[in-house]
Amino acid sequence: MSQFHQKKVAMINDLSGYGRCSLTVAVPILSAMKVQCCPVPTSILSNHTGFPVYFFDDYTAKLPAYLEKWGELGLEFDGIVSGFLGSVEQIRIVEDMIGRFKGPETKVVVDPIMGDNGKKYATYTEPMCEGMRRLVGLGDVVTPNLTEACILTDRPYRREGWTIRELDALAEDIRSLGARSVVITGISQGVYLANYVAEQGREPVICRTKRVGRERPGTGDVFASVVSAAFVRGFPLERAVRLASSFVRDCIRKSEELEIPVENGVCFEELMDRLTRIR
């Protein structure tokens, strides 16, 4: 696909100026992992929505013209990655974009950001859920957390006690939407957090890590960014997930050690040299 060995990804996500999430996480992490990251900003916020106040500017109306120029320039990508999407229209635009820019070798990663802790985000309407089910069907890799996996498959959520057999069925249902490989994140198993990895053509595996620190915004974005960069570089998905989960865990540990306020996310910058050394 590309002229050079280096990989290039189109990254669809919001730009939150303060608080370490979405594009302000994805751009540096992909860069550190030697992947060129080309943003498609879906909205611009002064800071993420976990703060008491924020400025929000929806970029939906501008996206078709933005992407039109990429089309005119004949740009091609090794990966297309989508993160937070705020409306049915944005989901449609991403579907169209994949149709237009996905070449035979392009890998599509969809992080279906729809909810957490058993609940859909307040802004997530049923038509958006339907749209996300279609978009997930275009993914080579999709990375729902357990809540999102339940929403996508219309299954009841529970926090603990998922058996392997149940996770197999959950992943299979997501696969039946069209997704090739599925990573279900944030599965609580006592003192552990697990990621269930069902890669096309391989036996499913569970990657567990010790749960550390407090819940912080942006950890899902850090996780999806590391997985996307590694996967686009051609690493097996299980290895990509192991790299991402240990990186997130250590970023949380460091953030606790440096007493970073929770709403400021994780101080991944402190551990960035580790990402640059991955071969």
Ligand X SMILES: Nc1ncnc2c1ncn2[C@@H]1O[C@H](COP(=O)(O)OP(=O)(O)O)[C@@H](O)[C@H]1O
Ligand Y SMILES: Cc1ncc(COP(=O)(O)O)c(C=O)c1O
Interface with ligand Y by CB under 6 A: which residues?
14, 16, 21-22, 45, 48-50, 84, 113, 217-221
Residues 182, 204: Cα–Cα separation, whole Å: 9
Q: Which is nearer to ligand X, 181 or 185 (CB)?
A: 185
Binding to ligand X (CB under 6 A): which residues in 237-266? 245, 248-249, 252
Stretch that binds ligand X, among 49-57, 77-85, 213-221, 264-272 (CB under 6 A): 213-221
174: enclosing H helix or E strand: helix 164-175
Q: Which is nearer to ligand Y, 78 or 265 (CB)?
A: 265
Query: Smallest distance, Å, CB 4 to ligand X?
Result: 31
Q: Which does 248 bind (CB under 5 to 8 A by kind): ligand X, ligand Y, none?
A: ligand X
Q: Which is nearer to ligand X, 181 or 195 (CB)?
A: 195
- In the structure, how many helices (H) and strands (E) does the chain have? 9, 11
Q: Which does 90 bind (CB under 5 to 8 A by kind): ligand Y, ligand X, none?
A: none
Query: Smallest distance, Å, CB 59 to ligand Y?
Result: 12
C-beta atoms surrounding 138 within 10 Å: 20
Residues 244, 19: Cα–Cα separation, whole Å: 20
Q: Does 220 bind ligand X (CB under 6 A)?
A: yes
Residues 140, 179: Cα–Cα separation, whole Å: 6
Beta bridge partners of 109: 81, 141
Query: Smallest distance, Å, CB 256 to ligand Y?
Result: 16
Q: Which residue is nearest to ligand X (CB)?
A: 220
Q: Which is nearer to ligand X, 9 or 241 (CB)?
A: 241
Q: ∠ at Cα 151 (145, 155), nearest 5°? A: 105
Residues 86, 142: Cα–Cα separation, whole Å: 18
Query: First CA to last CA across the chain, in angstroms?
Result: 21
Site mask for ligand X (CB under 6 A), range 141-160, x = bound: ----x---------------
Residues 42, 58: Cα–Cα separation, whole Å: 7
Query: Smallest distance, Å, CB 127 to ligand Y?
Result: 20
